Amino acid sequence: MHTIYAACVARSPTVKLRRERWPTPDGDFIDLDWLADAPGAAAAGTAGEPPFIVLFHGLEGSSQSHYARTLMHAVAERGWRGAVVHFRGCSGEPNRLARAYHSGDSAEVDWILARIRGSVPGPLCAVAVSLGANVLLKWLGEKAEAARDVVAAACAISAPMDLVATGNALDRGFNRIYGWNFLRTLKRKSLEKLTRYPGLGDARRIRHARTLRSFDDHVTAPLHGFVDAQDYWTRSSSKPWLKRIAVPTLVLNACDDPFLPADALPAPSDVSAAVTLQFPRYGGHVGFVTGRFPGSLEWLPRRILRFIEAVIDRSDRTAHRVA
């Protein structure tokens, strides 16, 4: 099932979160929603501190997205710790600067993960969805071995790893509904920014954008230093970086994901030995709804946390052998 169905029909749990605002290095801010402490459950592995799960959301997502709520609920049930990072302008309040966030902004992920690593004990594990998953995979590839000093494991869910293929797919047929859904908020935010930054863009072109390609041509690309949408998508795609990933990483995409056609998915030869590829036949884009109508969203968080737990247990066993 696709993400629109999952968000509107299948039920996602309510979780208790605490908001914290961080200033960015360039004078802006981001908001993080931290999971309230969960009582009781045992830590993964034998290292003492339970894992800390940091989640990066997808395009126009937030801590209230169905996948964020279900994952944080599962994290809390295990007695683990976690937080949802909001990209700039996605926490319910406009960010201060003209710039926003984009699919290749690995520098943003870098400073966020470094700050979290410096403030929380125990294994830090990064999970990301859709746009956030592409950014995380790009960061993992760029950092290569150095990423192992920051995160113990990573999971990328429904990542549009080939953004050119994604852009082309979302321009066709029924898939255009997904683009229109995102454009509702993207266009509204961009027009609001024009009132604060006159000359930042062309309001008429923004209003008349009917595809993500058109929006990225006129807004995302020039705002973030790219020539056009094609340049932005090409330079921001994570697929070319997958061979450099050193952190144990799960890449989970459904073969029926409308955002990335099955023929654009990476082959085993496209990734490093640290990457586990899982491409179920069904699941749509961040859907993975199981069971009878209206369905359950529990499969995805269970799969993510099982992968992370296995990586940490393996690391603990290796550490004991070395000791």
> Which residues carry out catalysis?
130, 257, 285
| β partners of residue 84 | 33, 55
CB 200 within 8 A of CB 222: no
Give every CB contact of residue 263 below 8 A, 6+ residues apart in sequence: none
At 53, give phi and psi (nearest 5°).
-105, 120
Could you give the CA distance from residue 300 to residue 287 in angstroms, rounded to a whole number? 8
Closest to 4 in 3D by CA, of 216, 188, 253, 182: 182
Closest to 52 in 3D by CA, of 64, 66, 37: 37
Q: Is the peptide bond before 268 cis (omega within 30 degrees of 0)?
A: no
3-state secondary structure of 258: coil
**Cα end-to-end distance, the chain, whole Å:** 47
Distance of CA 16 to the CA centre of its chain: 21
290: which DSSP letter? B
Going from the C-alpha of 2 to that of each of 165, 181, 214, 271, 290, the distances in angstroms are 18, 13, 24, 26, 12
Closest to 105 in 3D by CA, of 83, 62, 129, 137: 137
> 232 exposed, middle or buried (CB, 10 Å; 0-12, 13-18, 19+)?
buried
CB 111 within 8 A of CB 40: no
Query: What type of residue sits at position 5?
Result: Y
